[in-house]
Amino acid sequence: MAEPIGAEAQRPNPALEPLTPLIGNWRTTGTHPLVPGTTFHGRTSFEWHESGAFVLMRSEIDEPGIPSAVAIIGSDDAAGTWTMVYFDERDISRRYIVEVSDNEVSWRRDEAGFAQRMVVAIAADGRRLDAQGTMSRDGGPWEDDLRLTFQRIDSPSGRDEPEAGGRRV
């Protein structure tokens, strides 16, 4: 059997350690100002990729019109920065700058025609994330965008959390 290519680099990236609170499976509910009165339901996962060299995000919303997506987050240790590369089912790809602070992760892109920001607040117990997106078109004012609440499905160890009544999801 052939040796895997680059196996030595498939290891935890210490620069990504601050993203650990995101790792896991999440149930999402959300709203978008372009679809008033509608609550979206879906799932998102964040997982270590290549044994922790990167973080992989996958997301899907059950209602039509909100695209399923995949993104990968990596770091530049010399610059002390993180970058997310995003792709969704509409064949849209984007690059975001990722920032991490105490109990918060955010990503943003500041392209002239369409700028976006997402700020994700991490609950102290690690079981909930509250995300608020904003957007600006053609340098105009910032407007509300997708708002999501993430409820952890599994424990930080990766095991399923019991729902009310003891049933595991």
- Give the dihedral sign, CA 52/55/61/67: negative
Q: What is the pLDDT of residue 139?
A: 92
Mean pLDDT score, 19-45: 95
Overall pTM > 0.85? yes
Contact 48, 7 (CB under 8 A): no
CB-based contacts of 167, cutoff 8 Å, min separation 6: none
pLDDT digits (tens, 9 = 90+) for 94-140: 999 999 998 999 999 999 899 999 999 999 999 999 999 999 999 99
- Could you tell me the pLDDT band of residue 144, with boundaries at 50, 70 and 90? very high
The predicted-structure confidence for 41-64, as pLDDT tens digits, reads as follows: 999 999 999 999 999 999 999 988
Task: Tell me the CB-side half-sphere exposure of residue 107, using CA atoms within 13 A.
Answer: 17
By mean pLDDT, which of 5-14, 61-70, 150-159 is the weakest? 150-159
In degrees and rounded to multiples of 5, residue 17 shows phi and psi of -50, -40
Answer whether 7's CB lies under 8 Å from 23's CB.
Answer: no
Domains of the chain: 11-152 (2.40.128.20)
DSSP assignment of 12-76, as one string?
A: --GGGGGGGGG-EEEEEEEE-TTSTT--EEEEEEEEEEGGGTEEEEEEEESSTTS--EEEEEEEE
Assess whether pLDDT exceeds 80 at residue 158. Answer: no
